[in-house]
Chains A and B, each alone.
Chain A
């Protein structure tokens, strides 16, 4: 399927976001967001509500219905607006600081702009100090629920979240191409949603005492 036809971004927006994603999960000796196709993942997500939910066995997509469809239309609209405005801000800051659009900048200047987008360093330190005073340290929750309230997020953390999703979500959503994201972090995910759905996907080789998992490079 041609992502470009199905997508939301215009070519300029797409280049901007893809460049930012490539700094959020950079390419090193292993693939990053660019090789994973994180931009395709996001562009299709924002195209409407048809690709929000894969079918449980991975045989396609099942759009939400009824009140859920209304909620998703509302959510996608909000997220699209955040992207339109965020991309504009990214490029305006790039031109103001370095005289070029974001995608044209070298990596260190892109990182500088993204750090600006993340918020003033002072605020982050203050926030952390307050958290430490109250509770020793408040992390990004390692807790049970990490529900992504996308409509509550600012543009930059939203982009970080979507980059991570596009790197590590099941490949059916268009990112994590050839499972490169899972390979980078050594997660032996299922070969397909269908395998897991049929009960053929097992992590028992990674339990204690299993002969199959012999350390870092466990067999897949």
Chain B
């Protein structure tokens, strides 16, 4: 017995200490990542976001059609199924039927019936609409496509493929949040830090201004600001204008949180120690206050991107934001405004699905980040 008690002493504690030392060398960021990874919802949210952003970045490749590819003879086509079994049995390559359009002579309503005499196989790496990849390489390869009417979730009033428009629209809708949040992070963290660190009259004035800003009803304010955008601006200019408007209105919350964090950190003993050593204000700000606020800023940013996305969607839905021919999820939903359209072509509402998914995914990620932001609390 005594042998057993003494022998494991030498190798075991060494191993344990090595492990402990290993953990001790993990930086704050590594600790946060360890904790973040453990949240299953966050991983799901992360996967959803990565998928959507990949789709948006390589929209030309993933979308079967160009977003402006219209076909007046195929308006309001309902979602088309992809078939494996035809009249002649099983096909390894899925295929589509052609479409026959009939018009109700009384109501003028268009209905489509599958034309079983025509079949079109679905191709991977299909040669479809031409595009320039990142404005550099001219090509016409799409991940998936067909010679026939390949409209998986239908077409809109101009006969444009909705799925392609969703993928392209994601470019605007997903980045308007990022750019907007980026701008409001810059505004919010600078003003919040100033307000918190210097305090006094600056602080009071700034806080009252933020209160004023946040007490304004948003929709009339959006309308006023959007009306201020010149109507002859191009789509890109309007887009930039919208991001600036959204960020100008949303920096207040972030500034407040940063201020609170700075106020709390300013009184920490390690800041006093730095001052006792003779560190300058600038050093303390850059070395202690901002890094401590970073995690907070990232969490707030992640949680406020959905707000930006919804803001863009709402503005565009009201016809105040992104204007056609540029497309975004809000623009797509704008087309689903009329009740008759929704009744006859409910697939026009599908663009709300990515909005919901992305917003929920951002919230999952943001929540997990917030929980992970303090990895030292056990």
**Chain B associates with chain A:** no
Residues on B facing A (Cβ under 8 Å): none
